[in-house]
Amino acid sequence: MIYFDNCATTKPDPAVLSTYTKINEEFYFNAASPHKMGLETNQLQEEARSQIRTILKLDHQSIIFTSGATESNNMALTGMARAKKAFGSTIITTKLEHPSVLETLRTLEQEGFVVKYVKFKEDGTMDMDHFAELLSNDVILVSVMHVNNVMGAILPISEIAERLKDYPKIHFHVDCVQSFGKMPLVIEGVDSFSLSGHKFGGLKGQGILVISQLRNITQTIFGGGQEYGYRSGTSNVAVNVTMSKAMRLASENMDMQRARLYQFKQDIENFVKQFPGIRLNSHPNGAPHIVNFSFVGIKGEVIVNAFSERGIMISTTSACSSKRAKLNETLTALHVPEDAITGSVRVSFSKDNTVEEIAGFKAAFKEIYSQVEELLKK
């Protein structure tokens, strides 16, 4: 089996799995218990938090352990919008965001917030003039992802942070799920960001929210007061500790890994674009691990199945959103023509992939192409 759907999830690192088992066997205690074993368990978790702080080179920010980026995004956006309601009601985002952002903002609209979407230019870059037009004294929140999970587009986080310097009241949240471990994070001028462990060799149900003004956000989960009172519920220490482990492993040799992933990406992009009727959607300067292309005129699902039958797992869209509409929104916002949208597929790599697998993909592609060639719009 060749696994090229690493944007959906990655294989857990064996070291993460063994640490997870060890902690569950030896430190299954409640981190809030007052006895010796509870205190030791808590200490383990706090050490992990402090390692994450070091890995991310954080300064004053707080780290909240969550069940993943969906929860982190929900918590940051709902908590911050509600806390800032007195100062304004406008939120700026993009159509490229993950449903955990877009659906949260849709819910906030029902509470009276107004959501505005920044446009993208024909070349797929964010329209910073339009962004400047949307800024006003009524804006309280800007939420933009670092790397888009469908196309691999990289959004201009530093440039946005720079523009926001003139608006100190605005909270800037960044979804860094698809960038961590693949490229350096941009956190200067960012007020909060989300990470998800299972996207870089960690576990499902494992995430963090890093936030600079924790005390200013409205609580959304109530209970026993864990995670500084912002995320109540008995701490999942084995999950939290292995988050730090997965982050460390993903950060090690990141530059080398990134170069390797770029090579895979360039290789596949240069290969597929030679074939008439194939449209390359991802940008050569996009994220190193994501390739998106279309079999123009053929449904993406048909192509995914054809690869799947040959033991190669790729995707039509983000697995979190089986709704075709979300994919359409992202691709439409990035000006992909309609007949290419339906035929689009995503190939995404991790550090576990090999050159031999790329060769296997190319051989399967040729076979599939020759079978469907007659149906392609060239």
Active site residues: 320
Q: Residue 108 or 177: which CB sits closer to ligand PLP?
A: 177
320 binds ligand PLP (CB under 6 A): yes
Which position among 48, 69, 140, 186 is part of the footprint of ligand PLP (CB under 6 A)? 69
| Both structure tokens of 346 | 């995503």
Site for ligand PLP in 135-154 (CB under 6 A): 145, 149
User: Of the candidates 93, 257, 318, 330, which one interacts with ligand PLP according to CB under 6 A?
Assistant: 318
Helices 99-110 and 69-83, packing angle to 10 deg:
30
**Strand partners of residue 211:** 62, 192
Site map 168..187 versus ligand PLP, x via CB under 6 A? -------x-xx---------
Q: In angstroms, what is the minimal distance from the CB of 149 to ligand PLP?
A: 4
User: Whole-angstrom Cα distance, residue 272 to residue 356?
Assistant: 17
> Closest CB to ligand PLP among 287 and 296?
287
By beta-carbon proximity to ligand PLP, the closer residue of 84 and 198 is 198
Task: Tell me how far, at minimum, the Cβ of 5 lies from ligand PLP, in Å.
Answer: 11
Distances (CA, A) of 204 to 28, 41, 195, 200, 315: 19, 21, 12, 10, 19
CA distances from 195 to 15, 255, 312 (A): 19, 19, 27
Q: Among 152, 202, 207, 286, which residue interacts with ligand PLP (rule: CB under 6 A)?
A: 207
As a whole number of angstroms, the distance between CA 209 and CA 65 comes to 7
Q: Write the DSSP string, 317-334.
A: S-TT---HHHHHHHHHHT
Within residues 72-111, the interface with ligand PLP by CB under 6 A covers 98, 100
**Interatomic CA distance for residues 227 and 238, integer angstroms:** 15
Footprint on residues 256-315 left by ligand PLP (CB under 6 A): none
Count of all residues that appear for the chain in the document: 378
> By Cβ distance, which residue is nearest to ligand PLP?
68
Give the residues lining the site for ligand PLP (CB under 6 A): 68-70, 98, 100, 145, 149, 175, 177-178, 196, 207, 318, 320
